[in-house]
Structure 1
Amino acid sequence: MSSSETDETLESYGADVGTQGGVLTGFREWVMIQGSRIAVAAVLLLVISVLLVASYELDLLGFANPNSVTRVASGMIAGTFSLVTLVVSVNQLILSQEFTSAGKARDRLDGVVEFRQDVAEEAGIPASPAAPTRVLELVIESIRHDAIAFADAVDDHDDETREIVTKFTNSVQERADRIDDTLEETSFGTFTAVSAAINYDEAWQLYVATHLHGEYADSLSSDASERLEELIGSLKLFNVAREHFKTTYLQRELTRFSQLTIYCGVPSILSAIVLGLLYADVTGPSVNVVVLPYLAIVLIVVGLSPLALLVSYILRTATVTRRTSSVGPMIPQKDPEQGPFDVVYGEDQ
């Protein structure tokens, strides 16, 4: 493996998901992940309002035909009822996970307790903290500590092994410092933990560490091999922590979305009914013709509020799920040509 290949494999292909590369990237990350879902929905409704008003002012839209407006109102009512049905289905899905037998509930509790004990043992503390972000901080600190110990353990090895290990551990420490800074700057909460975790590419690091463990098994001393195994264990623990917090977050997020949809559903249906009744009079709309288009736009925007909530919440949940879809060193997000180690069948033989 040449030096250039080593650089490319060990450092170039970590996922810096969410790294702020400019105003456009920052805005995209705010819409997809960081921003409050209510704020994102409000921005979406504001954009729709501006587009409707601009289209009316440019004579691209008209509100004088009662038949067209009443059809729109009918469609909004039907769409809102369909969305409420979707919300009921989501609630049923969440409740199906909560209703469980005593045996399964005990297994779930034992799994969480065992995970917290592993974190406490890895960090050398009596018990792991309750705050999700604090738990992640401890795991990240364990990864950093194991990476430093692994680098120190190969100081007396040959130049090739020491160079490769140093490049890898430096990359691990750099990314650990980055996520640690993120956690320190934010408040403690489940989504904060998930948001920080999706920016850390432990799957790629686990893949590289596993390859190094097999490729240089004969070159590493027993102490270096032990330190590498500890680093692999810490990376696995981080993956478990991320999946646990992601599951907890998604349950809370979908429940919150269901509540907000019900809150907005009633005003949405009422606004659609009022919009239809405005044009139901035989003599035409009773509202002043100058005010009527803007009133209709307001009612349409209110009627679209459940849809805006749906878009904002689905954007975040889908993005979180997509960016954390890897399980261990299996990385579906990576292109096959992105820095793979050159391995062939039967190479060890």
Structure 2
Amino acid sequence: MGSVDSDETLDSYGADVNRQNSAVRRIVDWVLLQGNRIVITAALTLGVFALLVGLRSLGLVAFVNSNSLTRMVGGMIAGTFSLITLVVSVNQMILSREFRSADEFRNRLEGVMEFRRDIEDATGVPATPAAPAGQLELLVEEIDYRADRIRAAVADDPDGTARRRVERFVSSVKKSTDRAEETLDRARFGSFDALSSAMGYDDAWQIYAARHLRNDHADELSDATREALEELIESLKLFNTGREHFKTTYLQRELTRLSQLTILLGIPAVLAAFLLGLLYGGLGGPTVGHSAAPIVVSGLIAVVFSPLALLSAYILRTATVARRTASIGPMLPQKGPDEGPFEVGHDRDTQVETDAD
């Protein structure tokens, strides 16, 4: 494996949700990830109400045709029941993962305990923190410590390209760990801040870069430096595993909460649809005054829309989390195939040509 030496940097080429370069990016990240889902649901619901009132003020819609409204009510009721059924089915799918035999539960528990023992052996702590944020913070601190070990080891190596590249890589790792520690210090148990910080940490790129430096400069680096790089890779693997375990637990909790809230909002939504049908179901036309009809009807339609707004708010977050953490290990599918500082070629072709000569 060969590489082309250039004046490239060894900064992260992975995704980092904590890097916000513009106001638009901050707004998008708040809607997709950071914002409270209940607040976003309320904003979407109020947006529908304001839109309907605005369209009525412009004369684009009217609330006087009883036949049209009663047909629409039938569709609302059917759609609301279908939405509730869908979310309940998702909840049942999540619950099905919990229905296991004693042996299966024991194997799961042993797997978790073995992982925690690996963290304790790597970090030297008596017990791994129980809180996910504390566990991730401990692993970030360990990565930072391993980066310091690399810096100390490579300082004794001869000055050259390999040493300078390793030093730039260590500086990049230190910047990432400092940024992650600041976020994790503020995170609470089960809060999205901890997962957001873990999502933003570019461990996939760091694993790839560390392996590349270790293998590409094996003849130039000392045994101590190569061993320190290997220790950093192992710490990054532990972080990657811990993040995936935390992400799975978090998504299960979020989807279960979505099911609960959907049921809570679904009942008022169905009642609002029934009430709307009753208001316009009489032979004498609507039972609400003409001046109050736009406000009343718009409000009831917004209530009917609220379960869909809730579903949209939660799916936006869970889908974004799944998308930004889709890869495991040193795979960066969100980047172009030619991006990154390392240009790698196949040396065997050159070797074959040399042998032929």
Q: TM-score range by the shorter chain?
A: over 0.9
Cα offset, 1:345, TM superposition:
2.4
Question: Which residue of 1 is the match for residue 354 of structure 2?
Answer: none
Out of 305-314 and 324-333, give the one that drifted further: 324-333
Cα offset, 1:190, TM superposition:
5.0
Question: Which residue of 1 is the match for residue 240 of structure 2?
Answer: 239
Cα offset, 1:163, TM superposition:
0.6
> The residue matched to 1:198 in structure 2 has which SS?
helix
RMSD: 1.5
The answer to whether structure 1 residue 22 and structure 2 residue 22 are counterparts is yes
- Answer yes or no: is the 8 Å Cα contact 1:132–1:190 preserved in 2: no
> The residue matched to 2:344 in structure 1 has which SS?
coil
Q: Which string of whole-angstrom CA distances, capped at 9 and with x for unpartnered residues, describes residues 119-177 of structure 1?
A: 22222110011111010110000111111111211112232111100111100110110
What is the correspondence of 1:234-273 to structure 2 with a 5 Å cutoff? Answer: 234-273=235-274
Matches of 2:122 and 2:99, distance apart in 1: 33
Question: Which residue of 1 is the match for residue 294 of structure 2?
Answer: 293
Question: Which residue of 2 is the match for residue 159 of structure 1?
Answer: 160
Question: Which residue of 1 is the match for residue 220 of structure 2?
Answer: 219
Question: Which residue of 1 is the match for residue 43 of structure 2?
Answer: 43
Which structure's relative contact order is higher, taking Cα pairs within 8 Å and 6+ residues apart? 2
2:5 to 2, 5, 11: 2
Question: Which residue of 2 is the match for residue 279 of structure 1?
Answer: 280
- The one-letter code of the counterpart of 1:203 is A
Cα offset, 1:20, TM superposition:
2.5
Matches of 1:91 and 1:41, distance apart in 2: 20
Distance 1:253 1:12, change over 3 A: closer
Q: Which string of whole-angstrom CA distances, capped at 9 and with x for unpartnered residues, describes residues 241-267 of structure 1?
A: 000000000110000000000011111
> The residue matched to 2:62 in structure 1 has which SS?
coil
Q: Which string of whole-angstrom CA distances, capped at 9 and with x for unpartnered residues, describes residues 20-50 of structure 1?
A: 2233222211111111111111111111111
Matches of 1:225 and 1:20, distance apart in 2: 34
Question: Which residue of 2 is the match for residue 230 of structure 1?
Answer: 231
What is the correspondence of 1:1-349 to structure 2 with a 5 Å cutoff? Answer: 1-4=4-7, 6-7=8-9, 10-11=10-11, 13-157=13-157, 158-339=159-340, 341-347=342-348
- The one-letter code of the counterpart of 1:113 is M
Structure 1 spans left out of the alignment, 5+ residues: none
Matches of 1:86 and 1:340, distance apart in 2: 46
Q: Which string of whole-angstrom CA distances, capped at 9 and with x for unpartnered residues, describes residues 76-101 of structure 1?
A: 10111111110121012101110112
- Answer yes or no: is the 8 Å Cα contact 1:17–1:199 preserved in 2: yes
Structure 2 spans left out of the alignment, 5+ residues: 352-357
Q: Which string of whole-angstrom CA distances, capped at 9 and with x for unpartnered residues, describes residues 103-131 of structure 1?
A: 22111101111111122222211001111
- Answer yes or no: is the 8 Å Cα contact 1:143–1:231 preserved in 2: yes
- Answer yes or no: is the 8 Å Cα contact 1:326–1:333 preserved in 2: no
> The residue matched to 1:77 in structure 2 has which SS?
helix
- The one-letter code of the counterpart of 1:263 is L
Distance 1:224 1:12, change over 3 A: closer
> The residue matched to 1:3 in structure 2 has which SS?
coil
- Answer yes or no: is the 8 Å Cα contact 1:154–1:161 preserved in 2: no
Matches of 1:343 and 1:20, distance apart in 2: 31
> The residue matched to 2:197 in structure 1 has which SS?
helix
Out of 40-49 and 306-315, give the one that drifted further: 40-49
- Answer yes or no: is the 8 Å Cα contact 1:45–1:301 preserved in 2: yes
- The one-letter code of the counterpart of 2:143 is I
> The residue matched to 2:219 in structure 1 has which SS?
coil
Distance 1:265 1:91, change over 3 A: same
> The residue matched to 1:140 in structure 2 has which SS?
helix
Distance 1:27 1:193, change over 3 A: same
> The residue matched to 1:284 in structure 2 has which SS?
coil
Matches of 2:328 and 2:303, distance apart in 1: 41
- Answer yes or no: is the 8 Å Cα contact 1:73–1:272 preserved in 2: yes
Matches of 2:229 and 2:90, distance apart in 1: 43
Matches of 2:12 and 2:329, distance apart in 1: 19
- Answer yes or no: is the 8 Å Cα contact 2:14–2:335 preserved in 1: no
> The residue matched to 2:340 in structure 1 has which SS?
coil
Paired positions, count: 346
- Answer yes or no: is the 8 Å Cα contact 2:14–2:204 preserved in 1: no
